[in-house]
């Protein structure tokens, strides 16, 4: 059992709360080490501790939620996050951290060694609720041993009337769906995050940013999306005139920000003004952003 999943009698060495107060900056550049030929940061000494056998392998995230940090230390800011079951490729190892690349979206960052595990059997199900508890037994009265976020992937080994069991414990079956299940209304998925706290770099209901909200909702609908707003503006859907009649699911972009139209007048977005995922009148949002220096909408894209 992973150290992150603990029995009720033990205390987890690292909790979600520990991870909620990091912030991300820009993605670190990647360079090849002259001595090893593997990717490393330019300031990495050639004799830095490495794990060659791990560097040659794909691994996966073995904790509910893992920060990918910009530097290999506990106090570093986060670049993004990865979920239980996400596959990662180890690029190099520095002390207790591995520099990894996420298979899902190609993001890179430093993740703790204890957050990784060898690849397990392919996932059979994924989490569809914003958050769900993992229980040690078939009783909702038992003390949860962990919390899994939406889009976490698990390999089910037992099925019961109300619960399904994976390696670490039991999850309510209504909070799971087959990995092949595709949400029909991705905007409705985004609406499930309403009032979740804003967190730069976050991708879950525990804390999420504007582009993380879009990516998480689209991922539930089996639509692959880049991680940051600038890349989403370049690649998602197709551009329509900025003065078009807006429809549900249209994406509005500002410099460094993205929001989702719930209807022709209402924008859903994770934002640093309310510090929540909030639903607001689009005219008021545009007026506020123009006044605070963010400028007007740079583009509108339709999926």
132-163 pLDDT tens trace:
999 999 999 999 999 999 999 999 999 999 99
Q: What is the pLDDT of residue 248?
A: 98
Cα–Cα–Cα angle for 80, 84, 88, nearest 5°?
60
18-45 pLDDT tens trace:
332 232 323 333 322 222 223 333 333 3
Q: What is the pLDDT of residue 132?
A: 98
Question: 16-118, what's its fold?
Answer: SH3 type barrels. (2.30.30)
Q: What is the pLDDT of residue 30?
A: 33
155-206 pLDDT tens trace:
999 999 999 999 999 999 999 999 999 999 999 999 999 999 999 999 999 9
80-95 pLDDT tens trace:
999 999 999 999 999 9
247-287 pLDDT tens trace:
999 999 999 999 999 999 999 999 999 999 999 999 999 99
pLDDT at 3 over 90: no
Q: Could you tell me the pLDDT band of residue 213, with boundaries at 50, 70 and 90?
A: very high
Q: Could you tell me the pLDDT band of residue 294, with boundaries at 50, 70 and 90?
A: confident
- From the list 267, 274, 108, the residue with the least C-alpha distance to 197 is 274
Q: Could you tell me the pLDDT band of residue 1, with boundaries at 50, 70 and 90?
A: low
**pTM to 2 decimal places:** 0.83
Q: What is the mean pLDDT of residues 212-241?
A: 97
Every domain range in the chain assigned CATH 2.30.30.40: 16-118, 125-178
Q: What is the mean pLDDT of residues 44-62?
A: 59
Q: What is the pLDDT of residue 108?
A: 96
Q: What is the pLDDT of residue 18?
A: 33
Q: What is the pLDDT of residue 25?
A: 29
**Neighbouring residues of 48: CB distance < 8 A, sequence distance ≥ 6:** 40, 93, 94, 95
pLDDT at 11 over 70: no
Q: What is the mean pLDDT of residues 95-116?
A: 96
Range 125-178 classified under CATH 2.30.30.40: yes
pLDDT at 9 over 60: no
Every domain range in the chain assigned CATH 3.90.1720.10: 186-302
Task: Look at the block and give the residue holding tokens 């501790």.
Answer: 49
Give the CATH number of domain 186-302; options: 3.40.190.10, 3.90.1720.10, 3.90.1150.10, 3.40.50.720: 3.90.1720.10
**Neighbouring residues of 101: CB distance < 8 A, sequence distance ≥ 6:** 88, 89, 91, 107, 108
pLDDT at 107 over 80: yes
Lowest mean pLDDT among 34-43, 110-119, 283-292: 34-43
């Amino acid at each position: 059992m992973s150290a992150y999943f603990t029995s009720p009698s033990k205390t987890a060495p690292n909790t979600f709360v520990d991870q909620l107060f990091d912030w991300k900056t820009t993605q670190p550049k990647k360079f090849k080490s002259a001595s090893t030929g593997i990717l490393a940061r330019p300031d990495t000494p050639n004799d830095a501790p490495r794990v060659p056998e791990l560097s040659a392998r794909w691994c996966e995230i073995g904790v509910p939620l893992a920060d990918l940090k910009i530097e290999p230390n506990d106090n570093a800011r986060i670049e993004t996050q990865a979920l239980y079951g996400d596959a990662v490729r180890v690029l190099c190892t520095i002390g207790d951290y591995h520099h990894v690349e996420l298979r899902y979206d190609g993001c890179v960052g430093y993740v703790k060694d204890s957050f990784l595990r060898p690849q397990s059997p392919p996932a059979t199900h994924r989490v569809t609720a914003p958050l769900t508890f993992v229980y040690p037994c078939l009783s909702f009265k038992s003390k949860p041993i962990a919390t899994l976020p939406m889009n976490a992937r698990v390999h089910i080994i037992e099925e019961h009337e109300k619960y399904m069991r994976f390696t670490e414990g039991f999850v309510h079956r209504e909070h799971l769906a087959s990995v092949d299940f595709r949400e029909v209304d991705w905007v409705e998925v985004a609406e499930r995050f309403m009032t979740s706290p804003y967190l730069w770099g976050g991708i879950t209901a525990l804390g999420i940013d504007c582009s993380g909200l879009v990516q998480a909702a689209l991922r539930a609908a089996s639509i692959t999306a880049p991680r940051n707003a600038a890349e989403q503006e370049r690649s998602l859907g197709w551009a329509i005139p900025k003065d078009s009649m807006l429809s549900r699911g249209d994406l509005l972009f500002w410099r460094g920000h993205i929001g989702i139209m719930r209807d022709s007048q209402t924008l859903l977005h994770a934002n640093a003004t309310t510090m929540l995922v909030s639903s607001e009148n689009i005219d008021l949002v545009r007026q506020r952003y123009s006044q605070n220096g963010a400028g007007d909408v740079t583009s509108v894209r339709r999926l």
